[in-house]
Amino acid sequence: MSVHDAEADLVKLAEADLAELGKRVNEIEAELAAVRAPLEAELTKVHAEMLKIKNFLEMRRRYVERNANRGAVQVHPVESGGAADRSTISINSLPMSDDILAQACRGKSIADAAIALIQVAGHPLSEEELVDGLGRAGVIFVSDNPVLNVHFYLIKKRKETGAVKRTTDKRWAIDEVHGRSGAVHNRDKVEHVEKTRRGLLAARERGAKGGRRSKMTPEMKETAERMIAEGARQTEIAKQIGVTPITLQRWREKGLVSDRRTISNDSLPSGLGVSLMITQEQKDNLRNRGYTDEQIHDMKPQDAHRALGLIN
Protein backbone atom coordinates (compact mmCIF):
# COMPACT_ATOMS: atom_id res chain seq x y z
CA MET A 1 0.00 0.00 0.00
CA SER A 2 1.42 3.34 -0.95
CA VAL A 3 1.63 6.35 1.28
CA HIS A 4 -1.03 8.08 -0.76
CA ASP A 5 -3.50 5.25 -0.23
CA ALA A 6 -2.83 5.23 3.52
CA GLU A 7 -3.53 8.94 3.78
CA ALA A 8 -6.75 8.50 1.84
CA ASP A 9 -7.93 5.82 4.26
CA LEU A 10 -7.18 8.09 7.23
CA VAL A 11 -9.19 10.90 5.67
CA LYS A 12 -12.16 8.57 5.14
CA LEU A 13 -12.00 7.38 8.76
CA ALA A 14 -11.85 10.99 10.00
CA GLU A 15 -14.83 11.99 7.85
CA ALA A 16 -16.82 9.01 9.13
CA ASP A 17 -16.02 9.92 12.75
CA LEU A 18 -16.99 13.53 12.07
CA ALA A 19 -20.35 12.49 10.60
CA GLU A 20 -21.03 10.24 13.61
CA LEU A 21 -20.19 13.01 16.04
CA GLY A 22 -22.45 15.39 14.11
CA LYS A 23 -25.37 12.99 14.50
CA ARG A 24 -24.68 12.74 18.22
CA VAL A 25 -24.60 16.52 18.53
CA ASN A 26 -28.01 16.75 16.83
CA GLU A 27 -29.45 14.12 19.16
CA ILE A 28 -28.15 15.94 22.25
CA GLU A 29 -29.53 19.27 21.03
CA ALA A 30 -32.94 17.67 20.43
CA GLU A 31 -32.95 16.22 23.94
CA LEU A 32 -32.01 19.62 25.40
CA ALA A 33 -34.81 21.34 23.44
CA ALA A 34 -37.35 18.82 24.74
CA VAL A 35 -36.25 19.47 28.31
CA ARG A 36 -35.82 23.25 27.91
CA ALA A 37 -39.35 24.00 26.61
CA PRO A 38 -41.33 23.00 29.74
CA LEU A 39 -38.70 24.53 32.02
CA GLU A 40 -38.87 27.85 30.18
CA ALA A 41 -42.68 27.81 30.38
CA GLU A 42 -42.53 27.16 34.12
CA LEU A 43 -39.95 29.91 34.54
CA THR A 44 -42.25 32.38 32.72
CA LYS A 45 -45.11 31.54 35.11
CA VAL A 46 -42.87 32.02 38.14
CA HIS A 47 -41.69 35.41 36.85
CA ALA A 48 -45.31 36.49 36.31
CA GLU A 49 -46.29 35.50 39.86
CA MET A 50 -43.27 37.30 41.25
CA LEU A 51 -44.24 40.45 39.33
CA LYS A 52 -47.78 40.34 40.74
CA ILE A 53 -46.49 40.02 44.29
CA LYS A 54 -43.98 42.83 43.78
CA ASN A 55 -46.72 45.12 42.45
CA PHE A 56 -48.97 44.27 45.37
CA LEU A 57 -46.23 44.93 47.91
CA GLU A 58 -45.31 48.21 46.26
CA MET A 59 -48.91 49.47 46.23
CA ARG A 60 -49.37 48.35 49.82
CA ARG A 61 -46.19 50.16 50.85
CA ARG A 62 -47.35 53.37 49.18
CA TYR A 63 -50.75 53.10 50.85
CA VAL A 64 -49.19 52.60 54.29
CA GLU A 65 -46.86 55.55 53.75
CA ARG A 66 -49.75 57.80 52.72
CA ASN A 67 -51.73 56.86 55.83
CA ALA A 68 -48.66 57.27 58.04
CA ASN A 69 -47.90 60.73 56.65
CA ARG A 70 -51.50 61.92 56.72
CA GLY A 71 -51.98 64.37 59.55
CA ALA A 72 -55.10 65.76 61.08
CA VAL A 73 -57.83 66.78 58.70
CA GLN A 74 -59.25 70.31 58.70
CA VAL A 75 -63.05 70.45 58.61
CA HIS A 76 -65.43 73.41 58.81
CA PRO A 77 -68.73 72.07 60.12
CA VAL A 78 -70.44 75.33 61.10
CA GLU A 79 -70.19 79.06 60.68
CA SER A 80 -69.86 80.90 64.00
CA GLY A 81 -70.03 84.65 64.38
CA GLY A 82 -69.51 85.29 60.69
CA ALA A 83 -66.20 83.39 60.65
CA ALA A 84 -65.53 79.76 60.11
CA ASP A 85 -65.25 77.78 63.35
CA ARG A 86 -62.18 75.78 62.41
CA SER A 87 -61.68 72.54 64.29
CA THR A 88 -59.37 69.60 63.79
CA ILE A 89 -60.31 65.93 63.95
CA SER A 90 -58.25 62.81 63.52
CA ILE A 91 -59.07 59.67 61.63
CA ASN A 92 -60.63 57.18 64.03
CA SER A 93 -60.07 53.56 63.08
CA LEU A 94 -63.17 51.38 63.11
CA PRO A 95 -63.32 49.38 66.35
CA MET A 96 -63.49 45.93 64.76
CA SER A 97 -61.06 43.43 63.38
CA ASP A 98 -59.76 43.49 59.83
CA ASP A 99 -61.40 40.12 59.20
CA ILE A 100 -64.83 41.56 59.97
CA LEU A 101 -64.18 44.49 57.63
CA ALA A 102 -62.95 42.16 54.89
CA GLN A 103 -66.04 39.97 55.24
CA ALA A 104 -68.32 43.02 55.02
CA CYS A 105 -66.59 44.29 51.85
CA ARG A 106 -65.98 40.99 50.09
CA GLY A 107 -67.37 40.84 46.54
CA LYS A 108 -68.68 44.44 46.57
CA SER A 109 -67.91 47.53 44.56
CA ILE A 110 -66.16 50.41 46.31
CA ALA A 111 -69.45 52.27 46.82
CA ASP A 112 -71.28 49.22 48.17
CA ALA A 113 -68.29 48.32 50.35
CA ALA A 114 -68.29 51.84 51.80
CA ILE A 115 -72.01 51.52 52.57
CA ALA A 116 -71.32 48.18 54.27
CA LEU A 117 -68.67 49.83 56.45
CA ILE A 118 -71.15 52.54 57.47
CA GLN A 119 -73.66 49.84 58.41
CA VAL A 120 -71.04 47.92 60.38
CA ALA A 121 -69.90 51.05 62.23
CA GLY A 122 -73.48 52.04 63.04
CA HIS A 123 -72.81 55.77 62.57
CA PRO A 124 -71.77 58.18 59.80
CA LEU A 125 -68.17 57.98 58.60
CA SER A 126 -65.92 60.51 56.93
CA GLU A 127 -64.33 59.76 53.60
CA GLU A 128 -60.94 59.40 55.30
CA GLU A 129 -62.38 56.87 57.74
CA LEU A 130 -63.96 54.96 54.85
CA VAL A 131 -60.64 54.83 53.01
CA ASP A 132 -58.94 53.56 56.17
CA GLY A 133 -61.58 50.88 56.67
CA LEU A 134 -61.44 49.82 53.03
CA GLY A 135 -57.68 49.56 53.25
CA ARG A 136 -57.93 47.35 56.34
CA ALA A 137 -60.47 45.22 54.47
CA GLY A 138 -57.90 44.57 51.74
CA VAL A 139 -59.15 47.02 49.10
CA ILE A 140 -56.21 48.32 47.03
CA PHE A 141 -56.49 51.82 45.58
CA VAL A 142 -54.38 52.37 42.48
CA SER A 143 -55.10 56.10 42.51
CA ASP A 144 -52.91 58.47 44.52
CA ASN A 145 -56.04 60.09 45.96
CA PRO A 146 -58.34 57.32 47.28
CA VAL A 147 -60.37 59.82 49.31
CA LEU A 148 -61.42 61.58 46.12
CA ASN A 149 -62.28 58.22 44.54
CA VAL A 150 -64.55 57.29 47.45
CA HIS A 151 -66.16 60.73 47.29
CA PHE A 152 -67.14 60.42 43.64
CA TYR A 153 -68.25 56.78 43.98
CA LEU A 154 -70.63 57.72 46.79
CA ILE A 155 -71.88 60.80 44.94
CA LYS A 156 -72.75 58.55 41.99
CA LYS A 157 -74.42 56.02 44.29
CA ARG A 158 -76.50 58.75 45.87
CA LYS A 159 -77.73 59.93 42.46
CA GLU A 160 -78.56 56.42 41.27
CA THR A 161 -80.19 54.90 44.37
CA GLY A 162 -80.38 57.50 47.11
CA ALA A 163 -78.94 54.93 49.53
CA VAL A 164 -76.49 57.37 51.14
CA LYS A 165 -76.50 61.03 52.14
CA ARG A 166 -74.01 63.67 53.32
CA THR A 167 -74.39 64.98 56.84
CA THR A 168 -73.75 68.54 57.92
CA ASP A 169 -70.26 67.63 59.12
CA LYS A 170 -69.29 66.20 55.71
CA ARG A 171 -69.75 62.57 56.67
CA TRP A 172 -71.59 59.81 54.86
CA ALA A 173 -74.62 58.11 56.37
CA ILE A 174 -77.27 55.64 55.28
CA ASP A 175 -80.36 57.38 53.92
CA GLU A 176 -83.09 55.09 55.22
CA VAL A 177 -85.94 57.18 53.76
CA HIS A 178 -84.76 57.62 50.17
CA GLY A 179 -83.05 54.23 49.99
CA ARG A 180 -86.17 52.40 51.15
CA SER A 181 -88.52 54.50 49.02
CA GLY A 182 -86.36 53.78 45.96
CA ALA A 183 -86.58 50.06 46.62
CA VAL A 184 -90.35 50.30 47.12
CA HIS A 185 -90.66 52.26 43.87
CA ASN A 186 -88.76 49.60 41.95
CA ARG A 187 -90.80 46.81 43.54
CA ASP A 188 -94.08 48.58 42.67
CA LYS A 189 -92.88 49.04 39.10
CA VAL A 190 -92.09 45.33 38.75
CA GLU A 191 -95.46 44.37 40.23
CA HIS A 192 -97.24 46.76 37.85
CA VAL A 193 -95.48 45.23 34.83
CA GLU A 194 -96.38 41.72 36.02
CA LYS A 195 -100.05 42.66 36.54
CA THR A 196 -100.18 44.19 33.06
CA ARG A 197 -98.68 41.05 31.53
CA ARG A 198 -101.20 38.81 33.31
CA GLY A 199 -104.06 41.05 32.19
CA LEU A 200 -102.96 40.91 28.55
CA LEU A 201 -102.68 37.11 28.68
CA ALA A 202 -106.15 36.79 30.21
CA ALA A 203 -107.62 39.11 27.57
CA ARG A 204 -105.96 37.11 24.80
CA GLU A 205 -107.44 33.88 26.18
CA ARG A 206 -110.90 35.50 26.01
CA GLY A 207 -110.31 36.19 22.34
CA ALA A 208 -109.56 39.88 22.62
CA LYS A 209 -107.20 41.39 20.08
CA GLY A 210 -104.68 44.01 21.07
CA GLY A 211 -103.97 47.24 19.30
CA ARG A 212 -106.12 50.11 18.16
CA ARG A 213 -109.60 49.36 16.82
CA SER A 214 -110.07 49.68 13.10
CA LYS A 215 -112.13 52.68 12.04
CA MET A 216 -113.60 50.80 9.09
CA THR A 217 -117.39 50.53 9.23
CA PRO A 218 -119.60 48.02 7.37
CA GLU A 219 -120.74 50.85 5.10
CA MET A 220 -117.14 51.75 4.24
CA LYS A 221 -116.32 48.10 3.54
CA GLU A 222 -119.34 47.67 1.26
CA THR A 223 -118.60 50.89 -0.63
CA ALA A 224 -114.95 50.02 -1.09
CA GLU A 225 -115.65 46.49 -2.34
CA ARG A 226 -118.34 47.75 -4.74
CA MET A 227 -116.05 50.39 -6.19
CA ILE A 228 -113.21 47.85 -6.51
CA ALA A 229 -115.53 45.59 -8.46
CA GLU A 230 -116.51 48.53 -10.62
CA GLY A 231 -112.86 49.13 -11.45
CA ALA A 232 -112.45 52.43 -9.65
CA ARG A 233 -108.97 53.66 -8.85
CA GLN A 234 -107.68 53.21 -5.31
CA THR A 235 -107.27 56.94 -4.75
CA GLU A 236 -110.89 57.51 -5.76
CA ILE A 237 -112.10 54.75 -3.44
CA ALA A 238 -110.06 56.07 -0.51
CA LYS A 239 -111.40 59.59 -1.05
CA GLN A 240 -114.96 58.31 -1.25
CA ILE A 241 -114.80 56.40 2.06
CA GLY A 242 -112.70 59.07 3.83
CA VAL A 243 -109.33 57.35 4.36
CA THR A 244 -105.88 57.60 2.85
CA PRO A 245 -104.86 55.32 -0.05
CA ILE A 246 -102.24 53.73 2.21
CA THR A 247 -104.91 52.80 4.78
CA LEU A 248 -107.08 51.29 2.05
CA GLN A 249 -104.14 49.32 0.71
CA ARG A 250 -103.39 48.01 4.21
CA TRP A 251 -107.03 46.89 4.61
CA ARG A 252 -106.85 45.07 1.29
CA GLU A 253 -103.59 43.35 2.23
CA LYS A 254 -105.06 42.19 5.52
CA GLY A 255 -108.18 40.91 3.81
CA LEU A 256 -110.48 43.37 5.59
CA VAL A 257 -111.59 44.61 2.19
CA SER A 258 -112.05 41.85 -0.36
CA ASP A 259 -110.74 42.27 -3.90
CA ARG A 260 -113.03 39.52 -5.21
CA ARG A 261 -116.81 39.76 -5.53
CA THR A 262 -119.06 37.31 -7.31
CA ILE A 263 -121.36 39.61 -9.23
CA SER A 264 -123.25 39.48 -12.49
CA ASN A 265 -123.93 42.10 -15.07
CA ASP A 266 -127.52 42.28 -13.92
CA SER A 267 -126.52 43.04 -10.30
CA LEU A 268 -124.44 46.07 -11.27
CA PRO A 269 -125.94 49.53 -11.66
CA SER A 270 -127.11 50.36 -15.16
CA GLY A 271 -124.33 51.35 -17.52
CA LEU A 272 -121.47 50.11 -15.34
CA GLY A 273 -121.04 46.55 -16.65
CA VAL A 274 -118.13 44.46 -15.35
CA SER A 275 -114.93 45.67 -13.71
CA LEU A 276 -112.56 47.56 -15.97
CA MET A 277 -109.40 45.96 -14.52
CA ILE A 278 -107.82 42.63 -13.69
CA THR A 279 -106.26 42.59 -10.23
CA GLN A 280 -102.95 40.92 -9.44
CA GLU A 281 -104.73 38.27 -7.39
CA GLN A 282 -106.96 37.49 -10.34
CA LYS A 283 -103.91 37.17 -12.60
CA ASP A 284 -102.36 34.69 -10.16
CA ASN A 285 -105.59 32.67 -10.14
CA LEU A 286 -105.60 32.62 -13.94
CA ARG A 287 -102.03 31.32 -13.98
CA ASN A 288 -103.02 28.60 -11.53
CA ARG A 289 -105.76 27.58 -13.99
CA GLY A 290 -103.21 27.15 -16.78
CA TYR A 291 -103.37 30.50 -18.59
CA THR A 292 -100.07 31.93 -19.81
CA ASP A 293 -98.91 35.49 -19.16
CA GLU A 294 -99.43 36.30 -22.83
CA GLN A 295 -103.01 35.03 -22.76
CA ILE A 296 -103.73 36.97 -19.57
CA HIS A 297 -102.26 40.11 -21.14
CA ASP A 298 -104.52 39.81 -24.13
CA MET A 299 -107.64 39.10 -22.04
CA LYS A 300 -110.34 41.65 -21.52
CA PRO A 301 -111.50 42.12 -17.90
CA GLN A 302 -114.87 40.64 -18.81
CA ASP A 303 -113.25 37.45 -20.19
CA ALA A 304 -110.94 37.15 -17.17
CA HIS A 305 -113.81 37.53 -14.71
CA ARG A 306 -115.88 35.02 -16.61
CA ALA A 307 -112.98 32.53 -16.64
CA LEU A 308 -112.69 32.93 -12.85
CA GLY A 309 -116.43 32.53 -12.33
CA LEU A 310 -116.90 36.03 -10.99
CA ILE A 311 -119.63 36.81 -13.50
CA ASN A 312 -122.03 34.74 -15.55
The segment with the largest mean pLDDT, out of 6-10, 48-52, 116-120, 185-189, is 116-120
Query: In this predicted model, what pLDDT tens digit does every residue of 89-112 receive, in sequence order?
Result: 445 667 778 888 888 888 888 889
Mark whether 165 and 197 lie in a shared domain.
Answer: no
State the average pLDDT over residues 205-211: 69
Mark whether 108 and 147 lie in a shared domain.
Answer: yes
Q: Let me know if residue 264 belongs to a domain.
A: no
- 124-158: b (≥16 Cβ within 10 Å) or e: bbbbbbbbbbbbbbebebeeeebbebbbebbeebb
Mark whether 17 and 44 lie in a shared domain.
Answer: yes
Mark whether 9 and 57 lie in a shared domain.
Answer: yes
Give residue 67's domain range: 1-71
The secondary structure of residue 75, as a DSSP letter, is: E
Give the pLDDT of residue 178.
55
Query: In this predicted model, what pLDDT tens digit does every residue of 230-283 receive, in sequence order?
Result: 888 888 888 888 888 888 888 887 778 876 544 444 444 443 444 556 777 888
CATH number at residue 121: 1.10.10
Q: Let me know if residue 79 belongs to a domain.
A: no
Mark whether 196 and 221 lie in a shared domain.
Answer: no
Q: Let me know if residue 122 belongs to a domain.
A: yes
pLDDT averaged over the chain? Answer: 76
Q: Let me know if residue 97 belongs to a domain.
A: yes
Domain count, the chain: 5
Mark whether 40 and 5 lie in a shared domain.
Answer: yes
Q: Is the pLDDT of residue 132 over 50?
A: yes
Mark whether 226 and 291 lie in a shared domain.
Answer: no
Give the pLDDT of residue 73.
40
Q: Let me know if residue 78 belongs to a domain.
A: no
Give the pLDDT of residue 85.
43
